[in-house]
């Protein structure tokens, strides 16, 4: 996940490959609640691991469920209708799929509970659900604004509930109110319980998921059209034992769109197929209408670009409210204006999504019309795209769908602010996108300079702030030094050919900040001064330098790279957009290295270090191949009198200066 304040996605021009998507949020949270209400143990496979499922799991644990976890498999011992903990204060983040059903279940289970969430959750309506529950005799108070969380739930005796008359619930604001009642009311099914929907029910496919999963847990709800639902007397939750969660069809929408937009041999999605029980799978119909070629099997989808530009669309998107946001970005690549209708529910989601989409699409240069329940997006012709910093409003879907704007024909990058909001449903979204996307040019920042000038420190920090990859090219020479010693060689010219062979085939792996050579952790061994000396000597051998070129270039991956070394800007990445030549006086450098080594418990003297350092400087700058010198277009940075933070700030400032978007 990118925990950076922003993520710059360079202009993308193609995509091909296979993606495995995380489990569906809607299915995951419903299954968790049903498993908790049932008796017996349920093993849930492929459960989504995200903010919204985490708050649900935490809440269930607070209620006394015993939960075991092994990767994406969760074992949950159900409560069998009896709470183990009859009072709790539950924090439910911004998860509507936790807040609504838990409100209903806890109102019936009998106990004192407080349910709250993030500020936005306290702006998301719940009054219609609370009204339906209070009709029955449940006792619920608003702790803040009437009609909205936070809530206080008080106990009632289940046999005092009034279940004779149909329970009326509004269906035209959020289908989650009905889902909440359907999931929870089997707790009270001593007689048939009838629920009548008031108003036109929206997002019907989500109700189908609810009914489908209830059936898996032994509850056969009868349905008369979409107005009346009956939970049969005597209904009891029965754990199915094992259950698999499908991949998230809403998350699939971004990759379906990707296949439709990007050049390449197509995208294959594993984990969900056209027969999915999730309503958002119907996004494939809309994508086909816009010109995508889509094939499907029981558990996979395969998408490729067909019509181009895409065909404009005018649809009622009420049945796919979440996935439809993706259509709004696809519309930029269409042959005319596209209209998404009947989407009033967008206004009460994680943010007001109609306003959010309209504002951010406009930043790209698009003309957008919006009303209470529709949005119309005009396509953006080549030449009209603007590089934009996209605000994401703490809404994962805004962040994900705007990444698709990076395929614009004008080669403009897209900046996504607060990209970590994708953690709500798809923490690895951007990594997954980058695993299949292609760009004309992955941005690179080079930091070259003499030993102990602070290159490593600066490079790691700049890479961290930008969410970029990091190349410590010196470590490759250091590892080569270790490998040749192990082969019984000295770092001399007479062994150049053998050493070059070794360098070419280094069994090297970088994992979790460690450097592994043939599986052995050599992270500390390569940092000794002796290893540094060997590296310095081996790096003068032209054959070795050539042998390491491809390996170094292979680090250039989306979304970008910061590379530390001696010849990054001159030889390895001559086309880098920013090259920094970092220096400090020999005196400062010797002092810094001294401190660094002492702090690691390695004893050494300042004098010997300074002599080593000057010898290394000389060898670096006088060797015949790739000598240490600033690239012609490098910016010089002498950090003798700077703190690390000042150097980092300077480089980030230079980087921002050459970006096409305004400061965020």
Ligand X SMILES: Nc1ccn([C@@H]2O[C@H](COP(=O)(O)OP(=O)(O)O)[C@@H](O)[C@H]2O)c(=O)n1
Ligand Y SMILES: Nc1ncnc2c1ncn2[C@@H]1O[C@H](COP(=O)(O)OP(=O)(O)O)[C@@H](O)[C@H]1O
Distance in Å, CB of 580 to ligand Y, minimum: 12
Q: Any known ligand binding at 25?
A: yes
Is 450 annotated as contributing to ligand binding? yes
User: Of 322, 395, 448, 564, which one is the catalytic site residue?
Assistant: 322
* Residue 565 touches which member of ligand X, ligand Y, none, C-beta under 5-8 Å by kind: ligand X
Backbone angles phi, psi at 268, to 5 degrees: -115, 130
- Residue with Cβ nearer ligand Y (304 or 457): 457
Q: Which is nearer to ligand X, 49 or 620 (CB)?
A: 620
Tell me: is residue 577 an annotated ligand-binding position.
Answer: no
Closest CB to ligand X among residues 439, 459: 459
Do 467 and 559 form a contact (C-beta atoms < 8 A)? yes
Question: Cβ contacts of residue 657 below 8 Å, gap of 6+?
Answer: none
Residue 537 assigned to a binding site? no
Minimum CB separation of residue 582 from ligand Y in Å reads: 7
437-439 and 444-448 beta bridge pairing = unpaired
Going from the C-alpha of 614 to that of each of 193, 602, 618, the distances in angstroms are 85, 20, 6
The values of phi and psi at residue 636, to 5°, are -85, 135
Residue 318 binds: one of ligand Y, ligand X, none (C-beta under 5 to 8 A by kind) = none
Return the one option of ligand X, ligand Y, none that residue 566 interacts with (CB less than 5 to 8 A, by type): ligand X
Q: Which does 539 bind (CB under 5 to 8 A by kind): ligand Y, ligand X, none?
A: ligand X
Q: Shortest gap between Cβ of 648 and ligand X (angstroms)?
A: 18
**Shorter beta-carbon distance to ligand Y: residue 168 or 464:** 464
Instruction: Tell me which residue has its CB nearest to ligand Y.
Output: 454
Q: Is 30 annotated as a binding residue?
A: yes
Residues 368 and 362 sit within 8 Å (Cβ to Cβ): yes
Residue 43 vs 475, nearer CB to ligand X: 475
Task: Provide CB contacts within 8 A for 611, sequence distance 6+.
Answer: none
Whether 124 has a binding-site annotation, put simply, is yes
CA atoms within 13 A on the CB side of 400: 31
Cβ partners under 8 Å of residue 577, min gap 6: 443, 444, 445, 658
Of 532, 528, 524, nearest to 478 by C-alpha is 532
Q: Is 397 annotated as a binding residue?
A: yes
Q: In what order do the strands lie in the sheet with 388-390?
A: 6-9, 414-417, 388-390
**Partner interacting with residue 326 (select from ligand Y, ligand X, none; CB below 5-8 Å by kind):** none
Minimal distance, residue 621 CB to ligand Y, in Å: 15
Whether 527 has a binding-site annotation, put simply, is: no
Q: Alpha helix locations (H) across 511-643?
A: 529-538, 542-547, 549-553, 586-599, 606-622
Q: Nearest-CB residue to ligand X?
A: 474
Smallest gap, in angstroms, from Cβ of residue 591 to ligand Y?
A: 9
Q: By C-alpha distance, which of 626, 444, 480 is closest to 553?
A: 444
Residues in the chain: 664
Q: Residue 512 class from Cβ within 10 Å (0-12 exposed, 13-18 middle, 19+ buried)? A: exposed
Beta carbon nearer to ligand Y, 240 or 474: 474
Sheet of 87-91, strands arranged across: 87-91, 112-116, 151-154, 139-142
Least spacing, CB of residue 578 vs ligand X, in Å:
17
Catalog residues that contact ligand Y under the rule CB under 6 A. Answer: 451-457, 592-593, 596, 639, 642-644, 647
Tally the C-alpha atoms within 13 A of residue 76's C-alpha that lie toward its C-beta. 34
Closest distance to ligand Y from the beta carbon of 397 (Å): 40
Residue 557, marked binder: no
- Quote the tokens at residue 141: 């108070």
Q: Cβ neighbours of residue 324 under 8 Å, at least 6 residues apart?
A: 283, 286, 315, 317, 340, 343
455 is in an annotated binding site: yes
**Residue 353 annotated as binding?**
yes
Ligand-binding annotation for 449, yes or no, is: yes
Residue closer to ligand X (CB basis): 195 or 515: 515
Tell whether 457 is in a known binding site.
Answer: yes
Least gap, CB of 562 to ligand X (angstroms): 13
Which of ligand Y, ligand X, none sits in contact with 127, Cβ below 5 to 8 A by type?
none
Least distance (Å) from ligand X to the CB of residue 461? 16
From the list ligand X, ligand Y, none, partner contacted by residue 644 (C-beta under 5 to 8 A by kind)? ligand Y
Distance CA 430, CA 432 (A): 5
Say which entry of ligand Y, ligand X, none residue 647 contacts (CB below 5 to 8 A, set by partner kind): ligand Y
Cβ-Cβ contacts under 8 Å for 403 (sequence gap 6 or more): 9, 254, 414, 416, 429, 430, 433
Q: Which is nearer to ligand X, 10 or 474 (CB)?
A: 474
Q: Out of ligand Y, ligand X, none, which partner does residue 477 contact, by CB within 5 to 8 A per kind?
A: ligand X
Question: Residue 626 Cβ, how far from ligand Y at the closest point, in Å?
Answer: 17
Q: Hey, CA dihedral for 573, 574, 575, 577, is it positive or negative?
A: positive
**Identity of the residue, 518 or 644, whose beta carbon is nearer to ligand Y in the bound complex:** 644
Handedness of CA 648, 654, 657, 660 (dihedral sign): negative
CB 485 within 8 A of CB 458: no
- Residue 203's alpha-carbon distances to 178, 200, 208, 313, 318, in angstroms, are 11, 10, 9, 20, 6
Residue 292 bridge partners (DSSP): 305
Nearer to ligand Y, 158 or 460 (CB): 460
Q: Is 458 exposed, middle or buried (0-12, 13-18, 19+ CB in 10 A)?
A: buried
* 457 touches, from ligand Y, ligand X, none (C-beta below 5 to 8 Å by class): ligand Y
Question: Can you read off the two tokens belonging to residue 543?
Answer: 């054959």
Is 410 a residue of the active site? no
In the complex, the residues that contact ligand X under the rule CB under 6 A are 451-452, 473-475, 477-478, 532, 535-536, 539, 565-567, 616, 620
Residues tagged in the binding site annotation for ATP: 449-457
Q: Which residues are annotated as a binding site for phosphoenolpyruvate?
A: 25, 96, 124, 176, 353, 397, 424
| Binding residue numbers | 25-26, 30, 96, 124, 174-176, 203, 322, 349, 353, 397, 424, 449-457
What residues are designated binding site for 3-phosphoshikimate?
25-26, 30, 174-176, 203, 322, 349
The residues annotated as belonging to the active site are 322
């Amino acid at each position: 996940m990118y925990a950076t304040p922003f993520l710059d996605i360079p202009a993308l021009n193609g995509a091909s490959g296979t993606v495995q998507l995380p489990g569906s949020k809607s299915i995951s949270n419903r299954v968790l609640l049903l498993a908790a209400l049932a008796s017996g143990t349920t093993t849930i496979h492929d459960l989504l691991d995200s903010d919204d499922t985490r708050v649900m799991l935490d809440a269930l644990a607070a209620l006394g469920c015993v939960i075991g976890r092994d990767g994406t498999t969760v074992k949950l011992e159900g409560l069998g209708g009896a709470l183990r903990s009859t009072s709790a204060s539950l924090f439910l983040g911004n998860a509507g799929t936790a807040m609504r059903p838990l409100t209903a279940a806890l109102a019936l289970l009998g106990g004192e509970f407080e349910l709250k969430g993030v500020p936005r959750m306290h702006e998301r309506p719940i009054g219609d659900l609370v009204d339906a529950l209070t009709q029955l005799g449940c006792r619920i108070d608003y702790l803040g604004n009437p009609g909205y969380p936070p809530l206080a739930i008080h106990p009632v005796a289940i046999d005092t509930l009034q279940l004779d008359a149909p329970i009326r619930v509004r269906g035209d604001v959020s289908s989650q109110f009905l889902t909440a009642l359907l999931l929870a009311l089997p707790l009270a099914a001593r007689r048939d319980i009838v629920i009548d929907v008031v108003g036109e029910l929206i997002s019907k496919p989500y109700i189908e998921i609810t009914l489908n999963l209830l059936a898996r847990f032994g509850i056969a709800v009868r349905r008369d059209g979409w107005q009346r639902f009956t939970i049969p007397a005597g209904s009891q939750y029965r754990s199915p034992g094992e259950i698999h969660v499908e991949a998230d069809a809403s998350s699939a929408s971004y990759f379906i769109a990707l296949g439709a937009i990007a050049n390449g041999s197509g995208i294959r999605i594993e984990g969900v197929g056209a027969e999915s029980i999730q309503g958002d799978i119907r996004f494939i119909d809309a994508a086909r209408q816009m010109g995508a070629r889509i094939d499907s099997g029981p558990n996979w989808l395969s998408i490729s670009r067909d019509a181009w530009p895409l065909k404009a669309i005018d649809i009622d998107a009420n049945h796919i409210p979440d996935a439809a946001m993706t259509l709004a970005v696809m519309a930029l690549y269409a042959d005319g204006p596209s209209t998404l209708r009947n989407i009033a529910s967008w206004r009460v989601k994680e943010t007001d999504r109609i306003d959010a989409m309209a504002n951010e699409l406009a930043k790209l240069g698009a003309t957008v019309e919006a009303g209470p329940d529709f949005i119309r997006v005009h396509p953006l012709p080549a030449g009209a795209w603007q590089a934009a910093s996209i605000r994401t409003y703490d809404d994962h879907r805004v962040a994900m769908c705007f990444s698709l704007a990076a395929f614009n024909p004008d080669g403009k990058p897209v900046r996504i602010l607060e990209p970590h909001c994708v953690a709500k449903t798809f923490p690895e979204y951007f990594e997954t996108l980058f695993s299949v996307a292609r760009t004309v040019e992955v941005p690179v920042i080079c930091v070259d300079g003499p030993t102990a000038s602070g290159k490593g420190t600066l490079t790691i920090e700049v890479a961290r702030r930008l969410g970029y990859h990091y190349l410590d090219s010196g470590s490759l020479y250091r590892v080569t030094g270790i490998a040749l010693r192990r082969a019984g060689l000295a770092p001399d010219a007479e062994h150049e050919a053998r050493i070059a062979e070794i360098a070419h085939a280094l069994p090297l792996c970088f994992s979790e900040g460690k450097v592994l050579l043939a599986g052995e952790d050599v992270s500390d061994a390569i940092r000794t001064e002796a290893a540094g000396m060997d590296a310095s000597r081996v790096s003068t051998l032209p054959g070795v330098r050539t042998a390491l070129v491809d390996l170094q270039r292979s680090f250039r991956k989306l979304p970008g790279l910061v590379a530390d070394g001696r010849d990054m800007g001159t030889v390895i990445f001559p086309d880098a957009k920013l090259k920094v030549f970092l220096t400090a006086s020999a005196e400062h450098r010797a002092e810094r290295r001294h401190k660094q080594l002492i702090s690691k418990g390695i004893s050494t003297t300042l004098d010997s270090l300074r002599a080593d350092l000057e010898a290394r400087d000389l060898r670096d700058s006088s060797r015949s191949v790739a000598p240490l010198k600033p690239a012609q277009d490098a910016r010089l940075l002498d950090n003798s009198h700077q703190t690390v933070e000042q150097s980092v700030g300077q480089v980030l400032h230079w980087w921002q200066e050459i970006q096409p978007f305004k400061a965020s």
